[in-house]
């Protein structure tokens, strides 16, 4: 159909403000959605493009198997290498053996030492990708003369390239600093900086002892046209039998992938929340826009415009409003990952190069335009009620109801929620996290219901409240009269602010939990790999530093064992750690008494240490389908040990103390070669001295500083929190847009009201105060709702997901409350400031109608 009506027909100056709100809302929504999508694509591309590099090979076999004493001198990953030769031998295949373990690096003659992640590599490492060193030196040259370390190690130990470093019993020259290591991101958390050393030199350090935690690695380069995945599948059964894990590029870093997937999903869902609130703003703005244009619409209808022409006209007007904003937001959105590199720092290899995608920008803009048209559809439908008959009645134009008042707002909320929730669910299913998506959908539905109920309740409460102050009375009347329209405003603001509040509270809770508790309850260090003959020395060395509190030093005999379950098919599901992997390695221990921080939930603790019994952590037991009376078997260095489960324990993990999934009675591990694991609590100023004392004498003992681990966890959380805060900010802005729309829509009526007050003798100051009180009430209600939402989300997350006690920070809550109220009140008040100063004569002359 031809639309010959000039496109600007529906753009009365009065309506222009609404079209700006509309454009601003779509800009915000598209920007956030495209930004998140671009980040997700970037992460995925970086992962895929670098997958082969990230493994530094085509296929990788690894196992934390003990090194047999007879080959310890050669220090080859004998078991894994033997397995590879046996099952994978081929003319074109290259095997590159390696070892990975942690150890203490020390500076001779000083007390400085640091836990490092050692990677011992053969001469042909890496088989894929390249190692980049700082300065003009090749890897083989660097490893021939010494070791290569990450720069952070140099900074933290105060060393430079060329200096000497102690590792175990030997000293090595640092020949180069590591700039990029292809297979660096194998874990999200690393305990220390990387150190590369030639495989044939490891033996001389004396670090590899019985029971040492060493991962044997064999990297494999395949021949032309060979498929890593198929090969891995063909040896799967034998590998499992031997306790060896296979890794193809596609399944490298499952934990990193999972984290990134969840992270992106979380961002996407948060962005959808903004879309929900933004959609409310847009529909409100469009409804107000059409209402401002209703006389024109009536005239067009009178002159013979039919439904099709009206639809086209409104759609055209919508397009005119949004195309530029959508396009700009799309372009800016795809540039976001490049503009905000900090958000993705550490998640993508430093090498990965971001390339904005034109297609994504256009798709995002297109989606924004479609969404705008969708948001225009409701108001267009409502505009059916504008009839030319009103042209015959001069008084019919005074109608100034809220654009989203009453049932319209409810319907709109339902519709938009349905759209958003379907999208959320679709995204969840699509990214393989349907469970997460469902959780989110449930959460949002709950949130909306909660918000709606609270708005209703507070409006009802206000109706019953009779303030004595005059200004408050008038303001409340104004608020109640506009109450219908303010419902959507309050819900939008409540959700937006609530999201930000939740992030704040959650972050605060985690900080409190992780860092502030540390000095009193958490060990400063875990010392691992203490040999039986070193135990006495260790105790005497540590004794002067141990804090004077019960259990400040705890020592457990430990051994690694692989869980055996003959009767059930073994499903090693790398992608889902919570589906307890059944060939997983566990750290096993024995004790006489139940350790502190553990609580029996079923069965009895053993009374007789000579009986073979086991106690299992309750969540693990649930995951594995184990119960009291079942037999539990582990393979420890090739020997199978078995015990009957006689108790289940609940463990408070958040204390970060020494805790074990499986504890045996002393009889079970009697003849097993053990090493000792110790946790020590010391005062912060003693930490360095303790570390120096131990690592100076017991070279093979590694110390893990809890503070370092926690700082890493915290850094990662902060990264997530930062992104969510950014998106939450978007949701708040969307909420403020809804407020803006409402204020703009009631502008004329407000002007009328205020001028009338002044005609009746109120001063300008008093009028301004009435408006201030009105918006403050609105702000108070919305902020209170946000606070409740924020606290509810936090409590659920902390208690439900982290299994911890949720803490309320009154100061932070008060700050969030005051801040939220202030932002809302100021926005509303400033938005209606112009209406307070209209000349009184304007009212008398009928210029304000």
Partner 1 sequence: MIHLDQVSFSLIHSGQKLSILKNISLSVAKGEVVGLLGPSGSGKSTLLALLAGVEQATAGVVQVNGVRLNGLSSDQLAHFRRQHLGVVFQEFHLVPTLTAWENVALPLDLAGLPGSRQRAMAMLEQVGLAHRANHRPTELSGGEQQRVAIARAFVGCPPLILADEPTGNLDQNTSQHIIDLLFSCVAAWGSTLFLVTHDPQLARRADRCLHLVDGCLEGSQPCG
CB of 314 to partner 1, least distance (A): 14
- 635 burial (CB, 10 Å; 0-12 / 13-18 / 19+) is middle
Contact 22, 289 (CB under 8 A): yes
String of DSSP letters for 297-362: HHHHHHTT--HHHHHHHHHHHHHHHHHHHHHHHHHHHHHHHHH-HHHHTTTS-TT------HHHHH
> Which residue, 360 or 391, has its beta carbon nearer to partner 1?
391
Nearer to partner 1, 4 or 91 (CB): 4
**392 vs 430, beta carbon nearer partner 1:** 392
Nearer to partner 1, 13 or 540 (CB): 13
Rounded to a whole number of angstroms, the minimum distance from the CB of residue 391 to partner 1 is: 5
Which residues have CB under 8 Å from 296's CB, separation 6+? Answer: 9, 10, 12
Q: Which is nearer to partner 1, 295 or 644 (CB)?
A: 295
d(CA 42, CA 351): 12
Closer to partner 1 by CB, 15 or 709: give it. Answer: 15
Q: Which is nearer to partner 1, 9 or 171 (CB)?
A: 9
CB of 302 to partner 1, least distance (A): 6
Q: To the nearest whole angstrom, how small is the minimum distance from the Cβ of residue 291 to partner 1? A: 15
Q: Cβ of residue 294: shortest distance to partner 1, in angstroms? A: 12
- Report, in Å, the least distance between residue 844 CB and partner 1: 19
The nearest distance, CB 14 to partner 1, in angstroms, is: 9
CB of 423 to partner 1, least distance (A): 35
Half-sphere exposure in the Cβ direction for 418 (13 Å, CA): 6
Residue 3: CB minimum distance to partner 1, A: 9
Q: Where are the alpha helices (DSSP H) in 746-809?
A: 747-759, 764-795
Between 383 and 679, whose beta carbon lies closer to partner 1?
Answer: 383
Between strands 170-180 and 147-150, the pairing is: parallel
Rg (CA), the chain: 33
CA–CA dist 358, 355 (Å, integer): 9
Backbone angles phi and psi of 136, in degrees to 5: -95, 75
Cβ-based nearer residue to partner 1, 112 or 748: 748
DSSP 275: H
Between 303 and 536, CB nearer to partner 1: 303
Give the contacts of 32 (CB within 8 A, at least 6 positions apart): 271, 274, 275, 333, 727, 730
Secondary structure (DSSP) of 206-226? T---TT--EEEEEEEEPPTT-
Using alpha carbons, select from 706, 650, 690, 641 the residue that is nearest to residue 669. Answer: 641
What does the DSSP assignment read for 547-596?
Answer: -SSTTSEEEEEEEEEEEE-TTS-----TT-TTS--TT-EEEEEE-SSPPT
* Closest by CA position to 406, among listed 508, 300, 482, 513: 482
Nearer to partner 1, 2 or 468 (CB): 2
Kindly tell me the burial class for residue 562, based on how many C-beta atoms sit within 10 Å of its own C-beta (0-12, 13-18, 19 or more).
buried
CA distances from 557 to 535, 660, 665, 666, 704 (A): 10, 11, 12, 10, 17
The Cα–Cα gap between 559 and 593 comes to 18
Written as six digits, the tokens of 825 are 């009140």
Structure tokens at 616: 């299992």
Q: From the CB of 306, what's the least distance to partner 1, in Å?
A: 4
Question: Closest separation between CB of residue 401 and partner 1, Å?
Answer: 17
Written in H, E and C, the secondary structure of 679-705 is EECCCHHHHHHHHHHHHHHCCCCEEEE
Q: Which is nearer to partner 1, 299 or 418 (CB)?
A: 299
Residues that bind partner 1 (CB under 8 A): 2, 4-6, 8-12, 295-296, 298-309, 387-389, 391-394
The nearest distance, CB 6 to partner 1, in angstroms, is 6
- Compare residues 305 and 743 and give the one whose CB is closer to partner 1: 305
Compare residues 7 and 764 and give the one whose CB is closer to partner 1: 7
In angstroms, what is the minimal distance from the CB of 397 to partner 1? Answer: 10
CB-based contact 662:586 (threshold 8 Å): yes
Could you give the C-alpha distances from 222 to 52, 63, 84, 123, 643, in angstroms and in order? 12, 20, 12, 17, 43
Burial zone of 19 (CB within 10 Å; 0-12 exposed, 13-18 middle, 19+ buried): buried
Q: Least distance to partner 1 from the beta carbon of 4, Å?
A: 4
Q: Which residues pair with 115 in a beta bridge?
A: 104
Cα–Cα distance measured from residue 489 to residue 475, given in angstroms and rounded to the nearest whole number: 17
Burial class (CB in 10 A: 0-12, 13-18, 19+), 427: buried
Nearer to partner 1, 390 or 791 (CB): 390
Shortest reach from residue 748's CB to partner 1, in Å: 15
Give the distance from CA 118 to its chain's centroid.
29
Cβ(168)–Cβ(205) under 8 Å? yes
Distances (CA, A) of 112 to 109, 154, 158, 638, 679: 9, 12, 9, 39, 20
Q: Which is nearer to partner 1, 298 or 501 (CB)?
A: 298
* Closer Cβ to partner 1, 160 or 393, answer by number: 393
Residues pairing with 194 in the sheet: 117
User: For residue 718, what are its two tokens?
Assistant: 């902060």
Q: How far is the CB of 446 from partner 1 (least distance, A)?
A: 40
Could you tell me the smallest distance in angstroms from the CB atom of residue 394 to partner 1? 6
Nearer to partner 1, 387 or 633 (CB): 387
Query: Smallest distance, Å, CB 384 to partner 1?
Result: 8
């Amino acid at each position: 159909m031809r639309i010959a009506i000039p496109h600007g027909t529906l753009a009365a100056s009065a309506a222009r403000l609404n079209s700006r709100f509309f454009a601003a809302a779509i800009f915000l929504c598209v920007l956030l959605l495209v930004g998140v999508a671009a980040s997700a694509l970037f992460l995925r591309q970086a992962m895929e493009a670098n997958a082969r590099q990230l493994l530094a090979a085509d296929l990788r076999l690894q196992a934390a198997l003990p090194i047999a004493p007879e080959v310890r001198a050669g220090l080859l990953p004998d078991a894994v290498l033997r397995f590879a030769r046996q099952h994978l031998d081929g003319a074109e295949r290259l095997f590159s053996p390696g070892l990975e373990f942690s150890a203490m690096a020390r500076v001779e003659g000083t007390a400085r030492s640091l836990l490092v992640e050692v990677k011992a590599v053969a001469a042909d490492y890496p088989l894929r990708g390249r190692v980049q060193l700082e300065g003009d030196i090749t890897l083989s040259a660097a490893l021939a003369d010494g070791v290569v370390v990450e720069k952070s190690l140099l900074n933290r130990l105060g060393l430079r390239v060329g200096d000497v470093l102690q590792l175990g019993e030997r000293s090595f020259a640092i020949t180069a600093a590591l700039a990029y290591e292809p297979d660096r991101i194998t874990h999200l958390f690393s305990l220390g900086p990387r150190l590369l050393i030639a495989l044939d030199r490891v033996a001389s350090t004396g670090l590899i002892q019985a029971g040492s935690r060493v991962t044997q690695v064999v990297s494999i380069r395949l021949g032309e046209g060979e498929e890593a995945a198929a090969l891995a599948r063909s040896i799967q059964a034998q590998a499992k039998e031997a306790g060896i894990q296979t890794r193809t590029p596609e399944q490298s870093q499952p934990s990193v992938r999972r984290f990134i997937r969840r992270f992106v999903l979380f961002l996407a869902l948060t962005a959808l929340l903004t879309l929900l609130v933004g959609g409310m703003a847009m529909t409100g703005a469009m409804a107000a826009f059409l209402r401002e244009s209703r006389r024109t619409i009536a005239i067009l209808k009178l002159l013979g415009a039919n439904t099709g022409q009206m639809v086209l006209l409104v759609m055209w007007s919508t397009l005119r409003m949004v195309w530029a904003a959508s396009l700009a937001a799309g372009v800016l959105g795809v540039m976001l990952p490049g503009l905000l590199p900090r958000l993705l720092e550490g998640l993508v290899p430093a090498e990965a190069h971001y390339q904005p995608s034109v297609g994504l920008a256009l798709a995002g803009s297109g989606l924004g335009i479609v969404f705008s048209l969708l948001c225009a559809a409701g108001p267009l439908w409502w505009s059916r009620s504008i009839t030319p008959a009103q042209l015959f009645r001069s008084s019919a134009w005074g109608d100034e109801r809220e654009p989203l008042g009453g049932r319209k707002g409810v319907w709109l909320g339902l519709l938009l929620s349905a759209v958003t929730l379907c999208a959320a669910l679709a995204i969840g299913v699509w990214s393989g996290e349907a469970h997460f998506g469902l959780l989110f959908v449930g959460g949002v539905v709950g949130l909306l219901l909660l918000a709606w109920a609270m708005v209703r309740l507070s409006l009802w409460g206000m109706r019953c409240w009779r303030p004595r102050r005059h200004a408050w009375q008038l303001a409340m009347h104004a608020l109640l009269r506009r109450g219908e329209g303010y419902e959507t405003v309050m819900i939008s603001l409540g959700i937006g602010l609530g999201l930000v509040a939740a992030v704040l509270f959650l972050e605060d809770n985690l900080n409190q939990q992780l860092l502030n508790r540390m000095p009193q309850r958490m060990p400063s260090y875990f010392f691992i790999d203490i040999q039986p003959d070193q135990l006495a020395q260790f105790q005497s060395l540590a004794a002067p530093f141990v804090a004077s509190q019960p259990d400040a030093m705890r020592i457990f005999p430990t051994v690694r064992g692989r869980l055996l379950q003959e009767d059930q098919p073994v499903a090693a599901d790398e992608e889902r750690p919570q589906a307890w992997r059944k060939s997983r390695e566990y750290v096993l221990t024995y004790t006489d008494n139940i350790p502190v921080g553990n609580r029996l939930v079923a069965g009895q603790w053993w009374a007789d240490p000579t009986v073979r019994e086991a106690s299992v952590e309750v969540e693990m037991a649930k995951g594995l389908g184990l119960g009291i009376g079942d037999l539990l078997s582990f393979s420890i260095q090739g020997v199978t040990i078995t015990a009957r489960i006689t108790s289940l324990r609940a463990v408070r993990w958040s204390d970060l103390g020494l805790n074990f999934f499986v504890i045996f009675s002393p009889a079970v591990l009697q003849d097993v070669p053990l090493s000792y694991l110790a946790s020590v609590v010391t005062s912060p100023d003693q930490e360095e001295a303790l570390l120096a004392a131990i690592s100076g004498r017991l070279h093979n003992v590694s110390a893990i500083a809890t503070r370092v681990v926690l700082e890493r966890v915290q850094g990662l959380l902060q990264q997530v929190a930062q992104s969510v805060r950014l998106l939450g900010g978007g949701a708040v802005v969307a909420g403020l847009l809804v407020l803006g729309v409402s204020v703009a829509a009631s502008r004329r009526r407000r002007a009328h009201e205020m001028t009338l007050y002044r005609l009746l003798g109120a001063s300008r100051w008093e009028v301004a105060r009435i408006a201030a009180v009105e918006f403050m009430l609105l702000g108070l209600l919305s902020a209170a709702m946000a606070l409740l939402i924020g606290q509810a989300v936090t409590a659920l997350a902390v208690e439900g997901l982290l299994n911890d006690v949720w803490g309320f920070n009154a100061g932070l809550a008060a700050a969030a409350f005051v801040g939220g109220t202030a932002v809302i009140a100021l926005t509303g008040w400033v938005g209606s400031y112009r209406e307070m100063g209209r000349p009184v004569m304007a009212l008398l002359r009928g210029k304000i109608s």
